[in-house]
A and B are shown apart, each in its own frame.
Chain A
Amino acid sequence: MLNEADIIALVITLKLAFISTLILLLLGTPLAWWLARTRWKFKFIPEAIVALPLVLPPTVLGFYLLLVLGPNGPLGGLVEAAGGRPLAFTFTGLVIGSIIYSMPFVVQPLQDAFNAVGQRPLEVAATLRASPLDRFFTVAVPLARPGFFTAAVLGFAHTIGEFGVVLMIGGNIPGETRVASIAIYDHVEGLQYAHAHWLSAALLVLSFLMLVAVYGLNRRFRLVQQ
């Protein structure tokens, strides 16, 4: 069975995924909208930056985050100077890491969805007196709804599956930064296979259900695109 520490690790994992996904949707929506609409000829550069976590080893990402968020890093130092704790080895640090790590899984489905909406419905809305912001909320967002759903589930699922980044910047502090994937690693290291089984099975079922939801509700969805 899952012991209390495992349940806490699962709760932290879900909390991390939930908060990260929420922030990712808030940040990713305007970014994806801009990427879908801009005619800037260098838009491939921000696109490449967003996609970078797809190919970068998580340890590399985690290493740089550690430098940036640690007490001597620019961001960590700033927070410390403002009277806060350095971000490395904190839950907040994990959220920041997850946001960067899962960014492509949120931005790309949103960008594809906005692209699929196309220019025409927005032009129609403009001729029906809708201002740009009005058009965005009453036309683009509702028409891109499957994309929002996909983005949210993928962002959430991918954050749950995060390991390397957490390992580098999380510090494995029980009750704060120890997430399920790290707990499984610990159990295996300690040869506690029964515990590893339960936790792994929990993650497996959870991840499978989320993907079933994405594919089931969004029939044309493909994880690997373009």
Chain B
Amino acid sequence: MTIEARFQTVRGDFSLDIDLKIPSSGVTSLFGPSGCGKTSLIRAIAGLEQHSGGYLKVGTSIWQDNDYFLPPHRRPLGYVFQESSLFEHLNVRRNLEYGVKRINRKDRHVALDNAIDLLEIGDLLTRMPANLSGGERQRVAIARALAVSPQLLLLDEPLAAVDVSRKQEIIPYIESLHRELDIPMIHVSHLPEEVARLADRLVLMESGRVTAAGDVHELFTRLDLALAQGAGAASIIEAVVAAHDTKYQLTCMAFGGGQITMAGIDLPVGTAARLRLAARDVSLTLEHQSGTSILNIFPAIVDGIARSSDAQVMVRLMAANVPLLASITRKSADELQLEPGKPVFVQIKSIALLP
């Protein structure tokens, strides 16, 4: 199943010029600064904004084409809005039931109870929205969108109105949707952390256009894109908990390029986890160092080098098939005579589990 979207609109100083084909499985994040058109695009997909002349096909069904426009209430989707959007005149249970009541019994693939359990809102059912915290409201909104058994779940900055500590509370729920329900999701965000945590695929947007689209690991490390420039540059690594070292409180994670030892994490062996490796925490050597305090050293091949400032360069590396970034001084790069294809050893000073 794929989603094909073509929208071309100019309204005053806002323009949207999209021609996008995305596989509709997993999580696709529309990522870009505010005003880049990502929210317009997701709203156009939902049918909340009508761009004449647009084309939208989801799987095998056409949602928009020329004069044809499937109204939003006939589109089999779920939508989570930026700010809390609960119906203030209905309690939590009746909010949840609002959509369920309006779909055919045969289309109810996600049981309401299942959505309630998944978002852990069973205790809130009789409360009115006004008496819920921001995080609770957004969990109810997500459960409500899920309960209509959508073929596509759209999330428009679902965490924007939630304070930082509550974000950590909600992200795991969104992740679990991803794992347990297999509903394709399109997610809008302007926060790299959020995207790093959730996205399988990225669509980068700027001024109403798509600047790049593809695999999240790939795009985070592409030297020609803004994500791999600046102080926050990092690579995302898919890893599996391989073993725990209880003596030293360390955890060994296996990934495509070898093994990484990190501070002990509380996840059972075999659990998949995403790691974030900041480019500034990576250093490079030509030979395998011994007698060092650094635990994580593994071979990689230089894939590309880009100057990020007068003093610094960003090096893209491939550890087997895993792309990584290293931010080093231009002087070091010259002294090591780095160039694409050159084998090096990657040394990792610290690595974090994506929160």
- A residues lining the B interface (CB < 8 Å): 120-121, 123-132, 134-135, 138-139, 142-143, 145
A-B contact pairs, 14 of them (CB 8 A): A120-B81, A123-B81, A126-B73, A127-B73, A127-B145, A128-B99, A128-B144, A129-B148, A130-B73, A131-B73, A132-B73, A134-B73, A135-B73, A138-B98
* Also in contact, A121 and B87, with CB within 8 A (given A126-B48, A131-B73): yes
Q: What residues on B are CB-neighbors of A139 within 8 Å?
A: 87
Q: Which residue of chain B lies nearest to A120 when distances are taken between CB atoms in the complex? A: B85
Q: Which A residue sits closest to B96, measured CB to CB?
A: A128
Pick from A121, A131, A135, A145: contact of B85, CB under 8 Å:
A121
Alpha-carbon gap, A126 to B87, bound state (A): 13
Chain A neighbourhood of B72, CB < 8 A:
123, 126-127
- The answer to whether A127 touches B103, judged by C-beta atoms less than 8 angstroms apart, is no
Which B56-102 residues have C-beta < 8 A from chain A?
71-74, 77-79, 81, 83, 85, 87-89, 98-99, 102
- Are B78 and A127 closer than 8 Å at their CB atoms? yes
The residue in chain A whose Cβ has the minimal distance to the Cβ of B98 is A128
Q: How far is the CA of A139 from the CA of B73 in the complex (A)?
A: 14
Cα of A143 to Cα of B83 in the assembled complex, Å: 18
Residues of A within 8 A of B73 (CB): 125-132, 134-135
Q: Which residues on B sit within 8 Å (CB–CB) of A129?
A: 73-74, 99, 102-103, 148
B326 at interface by CB-CB < 8 Å: no
Please encode chain B, from 243 to 259, with 1 for each CB lying within 8 Å of some chain A CB and 0 for all others: 00000000000000000
Contacts of B85 in A (CB 8 A): 120-121, 123-124
How many angstroms between the C-alpha atoms of A123 and B44 in the bound complex?
12
B71 touches A126 (CB 8 A): yes
What residue in chain A is nearest B47 (Cβ atoms)? A126
A33 to B145, CA, bound (A): 27
The answer on a CB contact under 8 Å between B88 and A128 is no
Pick the contact of B79 from A124, A134, A145 — CB < 8 Å? A124
Is B46 interfacial (CB-CB < 8 Å)?
yes
Query: Measured between C-beta atoms, what is the minimum distance from A135 to chain B in Å?
Result: 8
Q: State how many angstroms separate the Cβ of A222 from the closest Cβ of chain B.
A: 22
Task: Provide the residues of chain B in CB contact with A120, threshold 8 Å.
Answer: 81, 83, 85
Residues of B within 8 A of A138 (CB): 98
Q: Which of B26-72 contact A (CB under 8 A)?
A: 46-48, 71-72
* Across-interface contacts of A130 in B (CB, < 8 A): 73, 98, 102
Taking the closest CB of chain A, its distance from the CB of B322, in whole angstroms, is 38
Contact of B98 among A123, A125, A131, A145 (CB under 8 A): A125
